[in-house]
Structure 1
Amino acid sequence: MLPNKMKFAVLTEKGHAEVRVKELPKLREDELLIKQEACNICTTDYQQWLGLREHQGYPMAGGHEASGIVIAKGDKVGDTYEVGDRVSILYDYCGICDNCKAGMITICQNKKLFGKNYSDEYYGIFGFSDYFIRNAKSFVKMNPDLSPSEAGFVEPLGSVLHGMRKIRLRGGYDTVVVIGGGTMGLLNAAAARAMGVRVIVSGRGEKKLETGRKMGFEMIDAGNTDPVEEVKRLTNGRGADSVIVSAGATSANQQALEMVKDQHGRILLYAAGYPVPELNVDSNIIHYKNLELIGTFGSTLEDFDNAGKMLSERRIDVSNLIEEKVLLTNIQEAFEKASTKGNFRISVMLQE
């Protein structure tokens, strides 16, 4: 018997998350009913819990790094998905605006990211829900052998791959430095390594350094050494071909400017920061050094598909980036742990 109710987590104000219950809508002909199994708490999620992203709105039924199992499908879904398939969840998008037609679904012109797209009452896409109904176009099929928490990495990895395409990595030649040894820093590093380049990660904190080394990366202890000098030493004075800034901080921006190579270097500004970091650079430096400052945000459908394939084929292993699994009923504890400095992803388990 199919469920008719859903249990979900919602942020009601700064520092407070709770579990609520509501009726599931009727399954439409182009939709899938998903038994959602896990949803990882993203930086975007816990920063709102901390009060740093209150512009996103309350009540927020958030969570977007989620995966689950198809348990029913509409009559017109076709054979792309079958009952029993493991899927990872994408954002809702209209599919008809100019951006969507170009595949850029995270900047859909008709569906606001984290907006009230699934409810008149709640913001968000209900990732922290035990069951949910979504349009069949909002999924990527996953390897059933992946754990639910690992399958939930399609969304963050998609955003990483979006940035990777912009910095035009040259396998077997480039050296890439990632500033930031947290979840997204090491995910950027893993994606860059999968593309055949040398990767150096600059991070702080023994747990992050140890995890990075466990994953096989060259790690710079930025808390006890000058990361700019270390990058120059490790590259024989040349500097990095590309620097990925995966820490939203003014100091990280400054380090990137100093450790990138003198000519035709590229700096990818991957991370947002709250409060907003500063970027202080002389425009003549950009001019004379042929320096590229590149912004990246969101993902295309192609990025999401590639992320699903790379995870499913285990070309990227994210198992070390899962800090702990916490039940949905303990959602407040989950947010407390997710926002604890130094922790990796907290995965909320959505089925009792």
Structure 2
Amino acid sequence: MNTAVIVEKHQVAIQETAIPELKDDEVLIKVLYAGLCGSDVHLFHDAHPFRKPPMIPGHELAGEIAAVGPAVRHHRVGDRVVVNHAIPCGECRYCKAGQVNICPTKIVAGSANMMGFFAEYVNVPERTLYTVALGISMQHAAIAEPLSIGFHIMRRLAHLDRDEPIAIVGTGTIGLVALIAAKSLGYTTVYGLDTMDYNLDIARQLGATATFNPLREQATEAVLQATGGLGTGGTIITAMGGSILTDAFALSSLQATLVMLPMTAQPMEANFFRLVSGEQSLIGCRGIVEQDFADAVGLINSGYDFGPLITHILPLSESQRAFELMVNRMEPVIKILIAPPL
């Protein structure tokens, strides 16, 4: 079978490898669509903390079961499925407390311990599978993994009243799935901030109350004006750079909760006066728990239209171009799906 391998920094090669052999509790999945994630781009830059070339990238998958191991009980050949690729140990203090998303030894796809999904076939344990309902687009189903992160973000803001305004700073894929999750959960007022007009257009299509581009307007002041000077009760930060963190404090209300997603090892500068004086809370957000993935699949199986998120569908042979599109932004890009075979 063919696989796309990041062989070294900024270089992807198509390589042939054997179809994986199944363990008893595993299924073999014919990959229909595999999503390209920002963390895959970090691998492409050889800047990921634990994913290093050479490696097959990809951890977002929608596919069809091609074979099953002898211990598989609940799925059969032909089933259409998506995969929760993060496999926690189940034994550490975090797993036992239900915090599987921060399990320090969890196995994830596209790492040294588990093959990535930019391939024609992959093998995964049966317990990672969720069924896609008949009639649901498998392209839309491929959004399950990032969408589950959107639901986990909203889990971190679950204490907010549904009529409390929310801001999303950065409306790339993760910002947009957070918007989808928020609206599906009944949050009524969600603002989007981004420097890319195309992304803001999509945010409005997906139900954003209003959007602001900091390159053209005083976005912080605009959010404050829209909220009667109070600011947002919840602010989701999916982008970094410049004064983003300081601005996020400024547009958030007293005692607001700010949820931060970007993983960066670089020191950041910000003015923390508003955080302290306003008794705001800045919390991190990483990965998902099982219910987040179940919530995502539930929304997918309801028939929600994720089409606005999917800007490109490319064959496996164009994986190099896919990464270059994500990096260079030669044209509007949100979610790129890789569709094996070549």
TM over 0.5: yes
CA distance in 2, matches of 1:276, 1:147: 42
Shift in Å, 1:325: 0.6
Equivalent residues of 2:9, 2:53 under 8 A apart: no
- Deviation at residue 300 of structure 1 after TM alignment: 0.9
Asked if residue 289 in structure 1 is aligned to residue 289 in structure 2, the reply is no
Equivalent position to 2:306, from 314, 318, 326: 318
Aligned alpha-carbon RMSD (Å): 2.2
CA offset at residue 287 of structure 1? 4.7
1:180–1:246 contact (8 Å) kept in structure 2? yes
Q: 2:142 aligns with which of 152, 157, 163?
A: 152
State whether residues 102 and 286 of structure 2, in contact with CA within 8 Å, keep that contact through their aligned partners in structure 1. no
Residue equivalent to 1:122: none
Q: Counterparts of 1:12 and 1:54 in 2: how far apart (Å)?
A: 17
| Cα 1:25/1:326, change in 2 over 3 Å | closer
1:253 matched to 2:245? The reply is yes
1:294 is matched by which residue type in structure 2?
Answer: I
Matches within 5 A, 1:1-352: 6-53=1-48, 56-79=51-74, 81-93=75-87, 95-98=89-92, 99-113=94-108, 114-118=110-114, 125-168=115-158, 170-197=160-187, 198-217=189-208, 218-261=210-253, 263-273=254-264, 275=266, 277-282=268-273, 285-315=274-304, 317-341=305-329, 342-352=332-342
Q: Judge which range, 290-299 or 331-340, deviates more.
A: 331-340
Report the CA distance shift for 1:61/1:103 in structure 2 as closer, same or farther (over 3 A).
farther
Per the alignment, in what secondary structure is the counterpart of residue 241 of structure 1? strand
Distance 1:299 1:46 in 2: 20
Deviation at residue 26 of structure 1 after TM alignment: 2.5
Q: Give the TM-score normalised by structure 2.
A: 0.90
8 Å contact from structure 1 (residues 91, 106) kept in 2 = no
Normalising to structure 1: TM-score of the pair?
0.88
The structural deviation recorded for 1:250 is 4.2
1:76 aligns to what SS in structure 2?
coil
CA distance in 1, matches of 2:99, 2:149: 11
Gaps of 5+ in 2: none
In structure 1, list runs of 5 or more residues that go unmatched.
1-5, 119-124
Q: 1:135 to 1:228 in 2, by over 3 A?
A: same
- Aligned partners of 1:105 and 1:299 also within 8 Å: yes
Q: Which residue number corresponds to residue 121 of structure 1?
A: none
- Residues 128 and 348 of structure 1 are in contact (CA less than 8 Å); yes or no, is this contact kept in structure 2? yes
Change (3 A) 1:103 1:72: farther
CA pair 104-60 structure 1, distance change in 2 beyond 3 A: farther
> How many Å separate the matches in 2 of 1:158 and 1:312?
13
Give identity over the alignment, percent. Answer: 25
Shift of 1:110: 3.5
Contact 2:167–2:236 (CA under 8 A) maintained in structure 1: yes
Q: Which amino acid aligns with 2:296?
A: A
Please report how far the alpha carbon of residue 106 of structure 1 lies from its aligned counterpart in structure 2 after TM superposition. 4.1
Distance change (3 Å), C-alpha of 1:18 and 1:275: farther
In 2, Cα distance between the equivalents of 1:305 and 1:102?
19
Matches of 1:188 and 1:51 in 2, distance apart?
27
The answer (yes or no) to whether the contact 1:169–1:195 under 8 Å persists in 2 is: no
Q: Is the 8 A contact 1:67 1:87 kept in 2?
A: yes
Structure 1 CA distance for aligned equivalents of residues 15 and 268 of structure 2: 36
Question: Any idea what SS the aligned residue of 2:299 has?
Answer: helix
Structure 2: which amino acid aligns with 1:70? I
Give the conservation status (yes or no) of the 8 Å contact 1:248–1:272: no
Are the counterparts in 1 of residues 4 and 14 from structure 2 also a CA contact under 8 Å?
yes
Contact 1:97-1:110 at 8 Å conserved across structures: no
Secondary structure of residue in 2 paired with 1:12: strand
- The question of whether the paired residues in 1 share the 8 Å contact of 2:46 and 2:52 is answered with no
Q: Distance in 2 between matches of 1:227 and 1:207?
A: 17
2:236 and 2:118 mapped to 1: Cα distance?
30
Query: 1:127-186 deviations in whole A, cap 9, x for unaligned?
Result: 101111111112222224333332122211222211211122545421001111222111
Shift of 1:215: 2.4
Q: Is the 8 A contact 2:25 2:125 kept in 1?
A: yes
